[in-house]
A and B are shown apart, each in its own frame.
Chain A
Amino acid sequence: MTIDHHKQSFWTKYVFSTDHKIIGIQYGITSLVWLLFGFVLMMIMRYQLAYPESPIPFVGGLIGEGGILPSEMYNSLGAMHGTIMIFLGVVPLAFGAFGNYFVPLQIGAIDMAFPKLNAASYWMYFLGSVIMGIGFFVPGGAANSGWTSYPPLADIATTGQTVWLFGMVMLITSSLLGSINILATVIQLRTEGMTWMKLPIFVWTQFITAFLLLLAFPPLEAAGVLQLMDRLAGTSFFMPSGLVVSGEVLTNAGGGSPLLWQHLFWFLAHPEVYVLILPAFGIVTEVIANNTRKPIQGYKSLVYSMVFLGFMSFVVWAHHMYLTGMGTSIGAFFQTTTMIISIPSVVILTALLLSLWGGSIRFNTPMLFALGFLPMFGIGGLTGLPLGLAAADIHLHDTYYVIGHFHYIVAPGTIFALFAGIYYWFPKMTGKRTNEMLGKLHFFFSFIFMNGVFMPMFIQGLAGVSRRLWDGGEIYAHAADVLYLNEVMSVSAWLLGLSQLFFIINMIISLKGEKTGEANPWDATTLDWTDTTSPPLGHGNFEKVPTVYCGPYEYSVPGSKEDFTPQSKKG
């Protein structure tokens, strides 16, 4: 045994650890807490939407006068919900936690390429998230210009926006360190025999995600610095001259352009949405292959599609900006690229669907979440198509249709995939099993209520109801016929919240439970299951670093005794 056994204090072992597994768990816990927090913000907002201007139960006292949510606070909760869910919740969970924990295990590496950088990345994220949280306590409340922070609104917003910008700069730096680490790890530390085409799809998705983060995030960092300059040093990068805000003529020098921010922001934020979905594809692929007991259909086409998707995601960003007055030729360019990028998604989804054919499908909790992911992502992705056609987007832009579109992808999509991942890898991380009954209840209730929250959004969106409306559209006549849906959605959201209790309770009792001692409870093939114990050993991961002989999804190989052939098995 070559594993380090030297004594470590609690602090170096669990807090300032450089072990990728501990860091992964740190990422996981922090991001789950933020996810829950982001969700709570939204449950508060949904109360105002369902029952405008009535006092909010339970938390009303925190909110202030009469417990009614004021409109500026609605805006700030909305902006923070978006920011928290994306930058503090899903990305750190999907990329920071799962990526950190399982990429080295799946490629047979003993740790990440740069363990210290890894810890730095987590602490940077932690600090950034604390800064984001501080935003709630500054005068004027947290950032309230939407997660998109469009100037000039964001330039003239309250102090919370400055805090938001500092938080973002920290988070971006953290992501950069994390992505460098994942890239270097995958390129340099693959074990013997682990060629590119033998990598599990999960590793591929993390790899491409890391590339997206590496190249797309820095321009937002630049934009963030420019906006900070606008706010703190009085520059006017995003402000033309001659603005009159509440009767006061602004005295800034002018000459800037609000569209510059939008370009730099969406240059990140479109690739970012693929950052949200690619790891989900990866997890779902692992779970589906494992539970159909057969290889994934079209491994190569999956890989190529994902690489292509990653590449294309850099040239579609202006589909968020059709209505900024875009001309025809550049409009045509972005519409075309947007349609092109939908094709690899179709290919990926089709490959996953076809993988089910001929399988021997086990419906356990992770599989249910993975299966739930497919049609939900389907709905979300398909509703992206009308948005991608500028002509249709004229009516749908910035309505609840858009909100419905992306929530179908990120909530019953990505979040389900993340749940699938948590249930699937829980035995790996803890050596214990989760409760199937509670897991299934969690799935079915979440599935129903997710649809209850998001399906009506398409209806409201088609009616032309704008997003980010404090009164849920009550003031507008064109919303009158669909207003009743606000209550439906809100009640679903709260029930969705309650359904999460199954998850939380499940986690608590399972963590308290006995270790099962099984290393490979799902009969899986990848190295994370077959060459390590559960939970994996401390620093070092493997008793003996494995060598890889076959592809990642060799299930039910004809002529072999067992229905799975581990990657490290000769033969």
Chain B
Amino acid sequence: MDIPFTVKNRPDTGLYNGKLGVWLFLASEVMLFGGLFSAYVFLRTGVDSWPVGADILNVPLATLNTMFLITSSVTMVMSWASLKLNDFKKFKLYAGLTLLLACLFLVVKYFEYTAKFDHHLFPSTNNFLGIYFTMTGLHVLHVIGGIFVIYYYWRKFDHNHRTLINNIFCALFLVAIFTNWDEGIKGYETTNGLISIVLLLVALVSSRKEQFKLKTKYLILGTFFVGALGIFNFHGTGYYLFLFLGLLAIADSFIFKSNTTYESDPEHFTNRIEIVGLYWHFVDLVWIFLFPVLYLL
């Protein structure tokens, strides 16, 4: 027996379960960020002086980031509309753009954060920075969550894309390793690095061939672990990137099973994209408020 109204709307409410569910979830998110905004207002009115965000933070970068998010929101809704028009190619294009923009957002955020740290501006420096890091940090977590989910729907079903993704990962791995090359060059780290590279190359080559598919994922996993051994050698930011990508690779190969929802039930798939979209727009909406509140006032 299937649970009713997972795809079709319930006549009296006019909703399918997932949509109601995501709105309820967003309601709780409103209260979550509400708690933080409330804290912000409370702390700010409670003290005599409060720094102006623009004096400390980088407004042009944040403006750029705002643009990224707004654009990603519109591409997201377009991807859903494309599905409604049964244009799967367009969906891939728009959802891919959304992903790209979201990643760009993170890259910018990364530079913003590290710039602050370099200037010895930490959450503990003062309450403005404290709330800045907490709020944007939580928002970043939401963005990352969104990226995972969108990626999940974007990458499935198409084998060529799948291999392409694996290749991109491999390439990124290489970048990650080379950025740390000068540190990893000495002693046994070198062997470590070399093994990684060999494995990666094999992975790269094999992932182009359909019949090696299964092996690819083990190879990537192996690379990750060998690389993880190198954690003790790799320092600095490249290491985190490396770790992150490794995690992504694992997730990609193992957690996300091939999904054929679109082929079997396009309506269900479209609904899911609508739900993801609602979430994504909410993340955008939060930023729309965070931006002036933290950067401009």
Is this pair of chains taken from one and the same complex?
A: yes
In the complex, which residue of chain A has the Cβ closest to the Cβ of B50? Answer: A255
Please report the C-alpha to C-alpha distance between residue A264 and residue B33 in the assembled complex, in whole angstroms: 12
- Determine which of B4, B20, B25, B123 lies in contact with A235 in the assembled complex, contact meaning CB atoms within 8 Å: B123
Q: Mark A181-199, 1 if CB is under 8 A from B, else 0.
A: 1011001110000000000
Residues of A within 8 A of B126 (CB): 253, 255
Residues of A within 8 A of B32 (CB): 218-219, 221-222
A114 touches B36 (CB 8 A): no
Please report the C-alpha to C-alpha distance between residue A540 and residue B46 in the assembled complex, in whole angstroms: 56
A111 at interface (Cβ–Cβ under 8 A)?
yes
Please report the C-alpha to C-alpha distance between residue A188 and residue B10 in the assembled complex, in whole angstroms: 7
B264 at interface (Cβ–Cβ under 8 A)?
no
B203 to chain A, nearest CB (A): 32
Stretch at the interface among A93-101, A223-231, A418-426: A223-231
In the complex, which residue of chain B has the Cβ closest to the Cβ of A260? Answer: B42
B34 touches A219 (CB 8 A): yes
- Determine which of A117, A235, A539, A540 lies in contact with B124 in the assembled complex, contact meaning CB atoms within 8 Å: A235
B251 at interface (Cβ–Cβ under 8 A)?
no
A256 at interface (Cβ–Cβ under 8 A)?
yes
B1 touches A2 (CB 8 A): yes
Residues of B within 8 A of A448 (CB): none
B175 to chain A, nearest CB (A): 30
- Determine which of B3, B10, B42, B130 lies in contact with A229 in the assembled complex, contact meaning CB atoms within 8 Å: B130
A349 at interface (Cβ–Cβ under 8 A)?
no
Q: Mark B3-29, 1 if CB is under 8 A from A, else 0.
A: 111000010010111001100110111
A256 touches B127 (CB 8 A): yes
A residues 198-239 with Cβ under 8 Å of B? 214-223, 225-226, 229, 233-237
A110 at interface (Cβ–Cβ under 8 A)?
yes
A215 touches B13 (CB 8 A): no
B residues 113-136 with Cβ under 8 Å of A? 122-127, 130-131, 133-134
> Taking chain B's interface residues, is the majority helix, strand, or loop, or is none over half, making it mixed?
helix
Q: Mark A99-113, 1 if CB is under 8 A from B, else 0.
A: 000000000011101
A540 touches B35 (CB 8 A): no
Q: Mark B35-62, 1 if CB is under 8 A from A, else 0.
A: 1101100110011000000000000000
B283 to chain A, nearest CB (A): 15
Please report the C-alpha to C-alpha distance between residue A214 and residue B25 in the assembled complex, in whole angstroms: 8
Please report the C-alpha to C-alpha distance between residue A26 and residue B198 in the assembled complex, in whole angstroms: 48
In the complex, which residue of chain A has the Cβ closest to the Cβ of B44? Answer: A255
Please report the C-alpha to C-alpha distance between residue A187 and residue B29 in the assembled complex, in whole angstroms: 20
Q: Mark A137-180, 1 if CB is under 8 A from B, else 0.
A: 00000000000000000000000000000000000000010011
Please report the C-alpha to C-alpha distance between residue A179 and residue B15 in the assembled complex, in whole angstroms: 18
A162 to chain B, nearest CB (A): 16
Residues of B within 8 A of A539 (CB): 1
Please report the C-alpha to C-alpha distance between residue A540 and residue B1 in the assembled complex, in whole angstroms: 6
Residues of B within 8 A of A115 (CB): 3
B31 to chain A, nearest CB (A): 4
B138 at interface (Cβ–Cβ under 8 A)?
yes
A105 to chain B, nearest CB (A): 14
Residues of A within 8 A of B15 (CB): 187-188
B138 touches A237 (CB 8 A): no
A263 at interface (Cβ–Cβ under 8 A)?
yes
A243 at interface (Cβ–Cβ under 8 A)?
no
B24 touches A214 (CB 8 A): yes
A residues 1-40 with Cβ under 8 Å of B? 2-4
Please report the C-alpha to C-alpha distance between residue A431 and residue B39 in the assembled complex, in whole angstroms: 51
Residues of A within 8 A of B127 (CB): 235-237, 253, 255-256
B17 touches A188 (CB 8 A): yes
Of the listed residues A3, A233, A263, A540, the one surrounded by the most CB atoms of chain B closer than 10 A to its CB is A233
B39 touches A180 (CB 8 A): no
- Contacts A219-B31, A222-B32, A226-B134 given: A233-B21 contact, CB under 8 Å? no
Residues of A within 8 A of B4 (CB): 110, 188-189
B122 touches A4 (CB 8 A): no
In the complex, which residue of chain B has the Cβ closest to the Cβ of A175? Answer: B28
Residues of A within 8 A of B30 (CB): 218
A252 at interface (Cβ–Cβ under 8 A)?
yes
B20 touches A257 (CB 8 A): no
Please report the C-alpha to C-alpha distance between residue A264 and residue B31 in the assembled complex, in whole angstroms: 11
B120 to chain A, nearest CB (A): 13
A114 touches B17 (CB 8 A): yes
Please report the C-alpha to C-alpha distance between residue A95 and residue B16 in the assembled complex, in whole angstroms: 24
Residues of A within 8 A of B28 (CB): 176, 179-180, 214-215, 217-218
Residues of A within 8 A of B130 (CB): 229, 233, 235-237, 253
Please report the C-alpha to C-alpha distance between residue A183 and residue B20 in the assembled complex, in whole angstroms: 9
Residues of A within 8 A of B123 (CB): 229, 233-235
A188 touches B35 (CB 8 A): no
B20 to chain A, nearest CB (A): 5
B257 to chain A, nearest CB (A): 14
A7 to chain B, nearest CB (A): 17
B124 touches A226 (CB 8 A): no
Please report the C-alpha to C-alpha distance between residue A115 and residue B6 in the assembled complex, in whole angstroms: 12
B142 to chain A, nearest CB (A): 13
Please report the C-alpha to C-alpha distance between residue A180 and residue B19 in the assembled complex, in whole angstroms: 11
Known: A111-B3, A113-B20. 20 other contacts (CB 8 A): A110-B4, A114-B21, A180-B24, A180-B28, A184-B17, A184-B20, A187-B20, A188-B20, A217-B28, A218-B30, A220-B35, A222-B33, A222-B35, A233-B123, A233-B130, A233-B133, A237-B39, A237-B43, A237-B130, A260-B39
Q: Which 4 residue pairs across A and B have the least CB separation, nearest first?
A: A222-B35, A234-B124, A219-B35, A235-B130
A-to-B contact residues, CB < 8 Å: 2-4, 109-111, 113-115, 117, 176, 179-181, 183-184, 187-189, 214-223, 225-226, 229, 233-237, 252-253, 255-257, 260, 263-264, 267, 539-540
Can you list 19 A-B contacts with CB-CB less than 8 angstroms, sorted by A residue number? A113-B5, A180-B28, A181-B21, A187-B20, A188-B13, A214-B27, A215-B27, A217-B28, A218-B30, A218-B34, A219-B32, A221-B35, A222-B32, A226-B134, A233-B122, A233-B123, A233-B133, A236-B124, A253-B130
B-to-A contact residues, CB < 8 Å: 1, 3-5, 10, 13, 15-17, 20-21, 24-25, 27-36, 38-39, 42-43, 46-47, 122-127, 130-131, 133-134, 138
